[in-house]
Amino acid sequence: MDESLETVLVEFDEDSGVGTLTMNRPDALNALSAQLRDDIVAGLELLEEQNEDADGVALRAVVLEGAGEKAFCAGADIGGFSDESAGGTSARSHYDVIRDFPAPVIAKIDGYCLGGGLETALACDFRLASESSTFGFPEVNLGILPGAGGVQYVTKIAGPAVAKELAMTGEHISAERAGEEGIVNHVYADDEFEDEVDAFVDDLAGQAPLAIQAIKKSADMAVHSGLEEGLAYDNQLFQELLKTEDHAEGAAAFAEDREPEFDGK
């Protein structure tokens, strides 16, 4: 499946179960306009539809990337800045959809990842960056703060000192520094970036999809709940997974010393 929205390219590889959303505003460094935010949501909805007619789970993972060679996403579209478009509930919709999406979403970051672009990446489950990428929150230069929770999320990941440094200075940090602080999962050499991302995504897509979805729910629950509540939730998910065909296949493959073939059932 290949479809084009106004500002997003949508692709789905039936063989691997991997969907790709490409933010397609390269001349604007893929800056977040209202249309782009809406199209990210629409693109995710198109990809999720792949499961409707499938016998099991068809969509295993989603890669979110930026078109061109300069930016993943350089932030909000300043030309369209307003109380509604720059932050607040309306602007958060695509972040929420990414966070709540059942399949893991991987931010493939090559180039600028700033402001709302960094917040978009932070909404994803994984962030993979090329070594030449740069990260930052420049909003302070406009007299505002990151409007979709960027300070909150960096604080949870890297601590308040790092979050304050990024948001108060507005300065960019390197991919290496972002990796050291845990803001990105992996940093790859520029000439190895494409192959390394493909390998990471292929490995993820080959895992049991129902277990992957449950792990995503568990990790998200841990952020917002106490330990006892989280442990009870994990036990519930565990009991549900024990009843799946994927679990039976995984156990059989282990006993037979072969690679499992998971269908998401």
Examine the residue annotation and report whether 230 is marked as an active-site residue of this protein. Answer: no
Instruction: Write down the pLDDT at residue 78.
Output: 74
Give the side-chain half-sphere CA count within 13 A for 60. Answer: 20
* Alpha carbons 119 and 192: distance in angstroms, whole number: 25
Instruction: Write down the pLDDT at residue 84.
Output: 47
Examine the residue annotation and report whether 139 is marked as an active-site residue of this protein. Answer: yes
- Choose the catalytic residue: 76, 129, 167, 205: 76
Examine the residue annotation and report whether 54 is marked as an active-site residue of this protein. Answer: no
- Choose the catalytic residue: 43, 61, 87, 119: 119
Examine the residue annotation and report whether 56 is marked as an active-site residue of this protein. Answer: no
* Alpha carbons 178 and 190: distance in angstroms, whole number: 16
- Choose the catalytic residue: 139, 150, 181, 250: 139
- Choose the catalytic residue: 115, 116, 250, 264: 116
Instruction: Write down the pLDDT at residue 72.
Output: 97
Would you give per-residue pLDDT tens digits along the chain (265 residues)?
Answer: 788 899 999 999 999 999 999 999 999 999 999 999 999 999 999 999 998 888 889 999 999 999 999 999 999 887 655 544 444 444 448 999 999 999 999 999 999 999 999 999 999 999 999 999 999 999 998 899 998 889 999 999 999 999 999 999 999 999 999 999 999 999 999 999 999 999 999 999 999 999 999 999 999 889 888 899 999 999 999 999 999 999 999 999 999 999 999 999 9
**pTM to 2 decimal places:** 0.91
Instruction: Write down the pLDDT at residue 247.
Output: 96
